[in-house]
Structure 1
Amino acid sequence: MKKDRGQIYIIFLCWLLYTIAQLGRYSYSSNTTLIIDAYGVSHADAGLPTTYYFFAYGAGNIIVGLFCSRYNKRIAVTLALVVSIISNVLLFSGIDFRYIKYVWAANGFAQANLWPIMLLTLGQHLETKRMPFAAIVMSTASYGGTFLTYGISSLNSLLGVDFAYVFLFGAIGMFAVGALWFFTTKHIDDEMIPTVTEETKRSKFTASAVIMLGALMLFALIANAVSGGLKQWVPSILKESFHLDDWLAIFVSVALPLISIVTAFISAVVYDLLKNFILSSAIMFVIAAALMPLVITFLDTSWPVIMVLFVTIYVAMSVTINQLSVQAPLYLKDKMNSGFLAGLLNGACYIGSAVSTYVLGIFADNDGWKGAFNLLFAMSFLAAATAFIYYLFIRRKERENVDVEDVDL
């Protein structure tokens, strides 16, 4: 019973920490429209701090994934939250816009420590039977935190509260959860469950496994490029294309993370049906690619229709992101280090966000939002085609009894 309670507490603590950390992550992007007005900058300039953040976060995830099993998780998470708190306090204080991108890059690299360490902690302390439950719970953390951040930003705008207070709220929330983590995880590594061995790790990293990981990284990158671009720019699209008030544009945008909380369950169901991350990714990218032309058609005509399309695309991409960054690291803990796989795939996700956030801003400035969605269509189509081709290639090799999947992904 004590062991069960301990495992449930670890799941709860990892979920709570990562959920609250979203306040310090999306405090900037949830206020993009207000920042554009406050500082008088272009879409591209306003998107640059988020781009810096995601590049630092993506690269940091990969680096942390490689080394997180070798250092003290308790101290690393605490220090990461301290840096993120300082970054948010600096933006709350109203620093010059020229320096925001550098501060936000530091914030990104600090927060890059969280996800790989959370997944590594779960992989080291949970029995296999608890992995599906942990995957569903952790899948809701990002969306729940994003909903919380955008909800606070919308409420602030409606009440006339300065958007800068979102940065302060984020700092306070991270301080509280950081203290909880620091003071309750002193003995967290005393009862770890053995997972992947060094011999197993060496045997799994063959050429076919590396190719498979490369494919999954590509799909993670494109999926988050699409979903991250939507999350960043939907408030601006609604304001500029349909003339919605700032608070309403931000509030309506909350539908993306709120509805996408259900993707935690959808992802589990899809994987139970298909038992294949590649095929699942292919299907989700087909959905996104099929809906992009409708977005282009209805842009500037009906914002409720556009929001239905946005939500559907966002959910499809979120299923792929959930499966690659949450389910795969936890389900494969006996075959590969959970922290490493989480860092690799989550890092790819946010490099995709970094690219799309800035590039979509450039397209919006030069070709309008229809040009931006033409780009997202091309990316989704490319990913769908690649996934299907790779899936068919693997199936053909399996029929020929050729071992192409040393790591069953």
Structure 2
Amino acid sequence: MPAVKLSPRQSFIFSSLCCLVYFTSYMTRLNYGAAISEIADSLRVSNSLAGMALIGSFIAYGIGQPIFGLIGDRLPPRHMIASGLVATALLNLAVANTGNIYLITVIWCFNGLFQAMLWPPLVRIMTQTLSREAYNNASVGVVAAASAGTIGVYLLVPLCIVLSGWRMSFAIPAGLSLLVAGIWFAGARKFPSQSSGGAMNPVTEQASGKAVPLIFASGLLPIIAAIVLQGALRDGITTWMPTFIDDNFGLGNSFSILSTAVLPAFTIISVSAASFVQRILQNEVRTATLFWAAALVTAGLLIALYNANAIIGIALMACLTGCMHGINLMLISLLPVHFAKFGKVATISGILNAFTYLGSAGSIYGIAAMSGRFGWEITIVVWCAMALAGVILCAFCTKRWHRFIAKAGQEA
């Protein structure tokens, strides 16, 4: 993969830099959602009006993924990532100093757009700099860093609100983002393989082509459908888990929101397990198929036990979202590596991640409407059907994907 092989110590340092970047991206992206109720109360606006910033940011982030994926295969990823961190820092500072909800909405939409500058070039520079094994380990670390960022946001925001007000929950992450931008820009330049640009090996120039033909040649279309389902289950369940708990067990909003803190722990366990299985199977789609099967079993248990006990319900939903994070690791983090030799790793990564957020956007509205009209039992049955569809889609693509990566490996 890389032009220059790094020592284990160098790989660890570089992987830590990547984890720090992604931790910071979560601290500067999730803080609005965590503080939204306080923002609405402080500015004396409705929750729905305050929520428009979240919706706009979500859409902008999804649109930005393929755009910056294309750009990320052409511009130096080190510079793109540093620019994205600086931009999101300035936008967080702008929110901290703004008292108009309409202006905040516009600012936060741009924040979502500039956040999309981070993931595609990060995948590209990781493939350029790390060996395949080190890349796989770093991908698990990046997911763990995202989980740590989620926990960090939900600890920082309440503390800031109590001590100083909601504006501090944007000022502190902004300062962190500026600091990390400097650390990243200075630290990443020490690793020489990125100087090779898009030509990671001699095959890249010969095999380079447009992304769409590669998508068809590799059989990615059914996998993209599975990615949409994965995004829908992952973010839909995470968003509405507190409502599920309150509706079924009447434990109140505070406990229900606090219960979501178990999700990052299950995420770390799941991605570690997925990475272990992948080292054995050496096929990302086959590994994803197994995790879809585990999700199907979990959803089936949830149908039977969802209202039996709060702890059981929380544990099963955490397992289900954990399976989705394992699938996300396979299909969003590891799968695009195979397109590095075509010079399209950032492009493919951005496209696939955009479809994740397409599923996420649909589920946030869909789960609310379905659970409100038909109840949670029918909603969970639909989750079970989605998991079954995921199994079928990935199982259907397993052999074709194996042939594609084998052929690509022979060409390299």
Using the size of structure 2 for normalisation, the TM-score is: 0.81
Partner secondary structure for residue 340 of structure 2:
coil
Q: Is the 8 A contact 2:73 2:345 kept in 1?
A: no
- Residue-by-residue CA offset, 1:84-109 (whole Å, 9 max, x unaligned): 22333344446444555443322121
Match of 2:242 in 1: 235
Which amino acid is the alignment partner of residue 242 of structure 1? F
Is residue 308 from structure 1 mapped to residue 315 from structure 2 by the alignment? yes
Deviation, 1:223, is 0.8
Is residue 291 from structure 1 mapped to residue 298 from structure 2 by the alignment? yes
Match of 1:265 in 2: 272
Which amino acid is the alignment partner of residue 312 of structure 2? V
Which of 61, 65, 73 is residue 61 of structure 1 equivalent to?
Answer: 65
Measured at CA, do residues 244 and 151 of structure 1 come closer, stay the same or move farther in structure 2, by a change above 3 Å? farther
Match of 1:323 in 2: 330
Which amino acid is the alignment partner of residue 79 of structure 2? I
Q: Which structure 2 residues correspond to residues 8-407 of structure 1 after superposition, within 5 A?
A: 8-31=12-35, 41=46, 48-93=52-97, 95-98=99-102, 100-153=104-157, 162-163=165-166, 165-185=168-188, 192=195, 194-195=200-201, 197-202=204-209, 209-210=216-217, 212-299=219-306, 301-330=308-337, 333-334=340-341, 337-364=344-371, 366-367=373-374, 369-370=376-377, 372-391=379-398, 394=400
Structure-1 separation of matches of 2:307 and 2:168: 32
Measured at CA, do residues 100 and 92 of structure 1 come closer, stay the same or move farther in structure 2, by a change above 3 Å? same
Which amino acid is the alignment partner of residue 19 of structure 2? W
Measured at CA, do residues 292 and 265 of structure 1 come closer, stay the same or move farther in structure 2, by a change above 3 Å? closer
Which amino acid is the alignment partner of residue 303 of structure 1? A
Structure-2 separation of matches of 1:128 and 1:55: 32
Runs of at least 5 residues in structure 2 that lack an aligned partner in the other structure = none
Q: How many percent of aligned residue pairs carry the same amino acid?
A: 21
Structure-2 separation of matches of 1:273 and 1:350: 29
Partner secondary structure for residue 208 of structure 2:
helix
Measured at CA, do residues 210 and 45 of structure 1 come closer, stay the same or move farther in structure 2, by a change above 3 Å? farther
Partner secondary structure for residue 219 of structure 2:
helix
- Residue-by-residue CA offset, 1:202-237 (whole Å, 9 max, x unaligned): 499757744622222222221121111122222343
Q: Is the 8 A contact 1:151 1:251 kept in 2?
A: no
Measured at CA, do residues 140 and 162 of structure 1 come closer, stay the same or move farther in structure 2, by a change above 3 Å? same
Structure-2 separation of matches of 1:247 and 1:161: 21
Runs of at least 5 residues in structure 1 that lack an aligned partner in the other structure = none
Structure-1 separation of matches of 2:80 and 2:219: 30
Structure-2 separation of matches of 1:105 and 1:181: 25
Using the size of structure 1 for normalisation, the TM-score is: 0.82
Which amino acid is the alignment partner of residue 83 of structure 2? L
Q: Higher RCO, 1 or 2 (CA under 8 Å, sep at least 6)?
A: 1
Measured at CA, do residues 127 and 358 of structure 1 come closer, stay the same or move farther in structure 2, by a change above 3 Å? same
Partner secondary structure for residue 113 of structure 1:
coil
Which amino acid is the alignment partner of residue 249 of structure 2? F
Deviation, 1:246, is 4.4
**Bigger mean CA deviation after superposition, 96-105 or 377-386:** 96-105
Which amino acid is the alignment partner of residue 134 of structure 1? A
Paired residues, what number?
400
**Bigger mean CA deviation after superposition, 9-18 or 287-296:** 287-296
